[in-house]
């Protein structure tokens, strides 16, 4: 025998044992497809959890809770149980938190009126300041104008305004004061978690909520390095009493059980799936080598050296691995189309955030629906054929050692 490998013999073996070839190629292709799609799914759920924060320009939402969980008997304006005051010193410390690039505070109020429950956000109305969190509504104005600082003027959220027929010029009452609607805002997709029914000047909101100057009860933070988000979250929770810090990880917890498991444990699941795929490819290659043990022994009798036989088997397994990898690419492309049609419901608010949660009637904020982002990277297209070829080739080299060590008579007698 001359040359690195006998290609004619390789081709004839693949065709002669076509059932075994189909079994190996199909099994490895399905395993590689499962690993790739599971990785894409995990990244998709992790990415969709960042949608609300991405549209808000923030990475963390910091609030302070209270131990009081009863629904108030008295009507009127109050601070939410989940958003108690954050002092100016605490807000300043949040802005200087290691890893935080920007921080902005807001005032969130609940109004329990006769037969109607709604939320009010106090925002900074200066258009020259970068918009963050609820302040993004300055850029989402679709009708009218922004309120004038210090005046009883408000913006209304589009769906809420349509439900109660509120347009620029309409009047609403907050705390026995009349406010004029001067504009309508359309909340961007996913930003409903921080949305309110009304928006007004932050100083007017402090007056309504009886808060001291510069006091807030919501802080939106922008983290310089996304990878450090959870670290910053844990550090803030360690020093801010009764802190509730929401992050994309919090969003994952609000998804369904399967979605949450895939999003949170995706890397671990991909690793386990990859090990199972590796074991499956090993079992399939072992089946091929075992079936051909008599042929391999015969090749030795015909003058093939053991190293040549093992090389021939290894190259044959690499070829089948490549075939499996390219079939996997086609299956991945089909899987991407299916994954991209999976609808994901984004929550309308954080748990306990909207006073509507306490009511059985009236306006309820609508949840937004998005399609799961299924994006394949360059490595998703490169790794299946290369990985399958390397795995099958390595198993072929390993298993062929024992098969070629037997003599012809021993191979014939073995079951």
Q: Domain boundary at 189, 219, 254, which?
A: 254
Q: What values do phi and psi take at 227, rounded to 5?
A: -65, -20
- Domain hosting residue 227, numbered range: 52-254
Residue 102 sits in the same domain as residue 218: yes
Q: Tell me the pLDDT of the chain (415 aa) as tens digits.
A: 445 566 676 677 767 677 888 888 999 999 999 999 988 888 887 787 777 788 888 899 999 987 665 555 556 888 888 889 999 999 999 999 999 999 999 999 988 766 677 889 999 988 777 788 888 898 899 999 999 998 999 999 998 899 889 999 999 988 788 999 999 999 887 677 778 899 999 999 999 999 999 999 999 999 999 888 889 999 999 999 888 898 887 776 666 555 555 655 667 778 888 899 999 999 998 888 877 776 666 666 566 677 777 888 888 889 889 999 999 999 999 999 988 888 877 766 665 555 544 454 455 555 667 778 888 889 899 999 999 999 999 988 888 876 555 544 444 445 5
Judge if 294 and 199 occupy the same domain. Answer: no
Please report which helix (H) or strand (E) contains residue 359, including its range. none
237 with 265, same domain: the answer is no
Q: Are residues 113 and 220 in the same domain?
A: yes
Rounded distance, CA 388 to CA 327, Å? 11
Query: Do 155 and 244 fall into the same domain?
Result: yes
Domain count, the chain: 2
Same domain (yes/no): 238, 104 = yes
Domain boundary among 205, 226, 254: 254
How many residues does this entry show for the chain? 415
Same domain? 131 vs 242: yes
230 neighbors 46 (Cβ within 8 angstroms): no
Q: Are residues 230 and 249 in the same domain?
A: yes
Going by C-alpha positions, the residue among 255, 266, 373 that lies closest to residue 39 is: 266
Q: Is residue 149 part of a domain?
A: yes
DSSP H helices in 154-226: 158-163, 202-208
Query: Can you say how many angstroms the Cα of residue 313 is from the centroid of all Cα atoms in its chain?
Result: 43
Beta bridge partners of 111: 77, 118
Q: Take residue 158 and report the two structure tokens written for it.
A: 């589009």
Give the three-state DSSP class for 225: coil
Last residue of a domain, one of 254, 271, 297: 254
Q: What is the DSSP letter of 34?
A: H
Strand partners, 211: none
Do 20 and 79 sit in the same domain of this protein? no
Q: Is residue 380 part of a domain?
A: yes
Q: Is residue 2 part of a domain?
A: no
Based on the domain organization, do 134 and 153 belong to the same domain?
A: yes
Is residue 407 included in any domain, yes or no?
yes
Look up the pTM and report it: 0.71
Separation of alpha carbons 358 and 342, rounded Å: 31
């Amino acid at each position: 025998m001359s040359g690195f490998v006998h290609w004619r013999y390789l081709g004839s073996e693949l065709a002669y044992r076509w059932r075994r070839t189909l079994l190996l190629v199909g099994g490895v292709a399905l395993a590689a497809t499962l690993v790739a799609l599971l990785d894409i799914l995990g990244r998709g759920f992790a990415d969709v959890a960042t949608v609300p924060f991405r549209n808000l320009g923030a990475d963390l939402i910091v609030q302070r809770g209270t131990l009081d969980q009863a629904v108030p008997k008295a009507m009127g304006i109050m601070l939410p149980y989940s958003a108690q005051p954050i002092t100016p010193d605490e807000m300043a410390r949040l802005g200087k938190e290691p890893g935080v690039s920007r921080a902005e505070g807001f005032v969130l109020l609940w109004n329990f009126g006769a037969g109607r429950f709604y939320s009010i956000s106090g925002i900074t109305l200066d258009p020259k300041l970068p918009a963050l969190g609820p302040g993004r509504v300055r850029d989402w104005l679709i009708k009218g104008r922004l309120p004038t600082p210090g005046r009883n003027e408000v913006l209304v959220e589009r769906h809420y305004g349509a439900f109660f027929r509120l347009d620029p010029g309409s009047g609403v009452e907050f705390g026995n004061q009349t406010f004029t609607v001067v504009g309508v805002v359309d909340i961007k997709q996913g930003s409903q978690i921080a949305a309110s029914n009304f928006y007004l000047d932050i100083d007017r909101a402090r007056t309504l909520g009886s808060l001291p100057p510069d006091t807030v009860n919501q802080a939106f933070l922008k983290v310089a390095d996304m990878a450090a988000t959870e670290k910053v979250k844990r550090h803030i929770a360690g020093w801010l009493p009764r802190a509730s810090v929401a992050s994309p990880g919090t969003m994952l917890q609000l998804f369904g059980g399967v979605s949450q498991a895939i999003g949170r444990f995706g890397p671990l699941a991909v690793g386990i799936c990859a090990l199972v795929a590796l074991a499956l490819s090993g079992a399939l290659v072992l089946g091929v080598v075992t079936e051909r043990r008599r042929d391999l022994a015969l090749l030795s009798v015909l003058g093939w050296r053991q190293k040549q036989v093992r090389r021939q088997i290894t190259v044959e397994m690499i070829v089948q691995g490549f075939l499996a990898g390219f079939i996997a690419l086609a299956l991945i492309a089909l899987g991407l189309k299916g994954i991209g049609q999976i609808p994901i419901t984004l929550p309308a608010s954080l748990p306990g955030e909207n006073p509507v949660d306490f009511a059985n009637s009236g306006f309820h904020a609508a949840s937004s629906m998005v399609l799961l982002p299924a994006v394949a990277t360059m490595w998703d297209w490169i790794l299946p054929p290369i990985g399958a070829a390397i795995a099958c080739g390595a198993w072929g080299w390993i298993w062929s050692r024992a098969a070629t060590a037997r003599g012809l008579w021993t191979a014939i007698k073995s079951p």
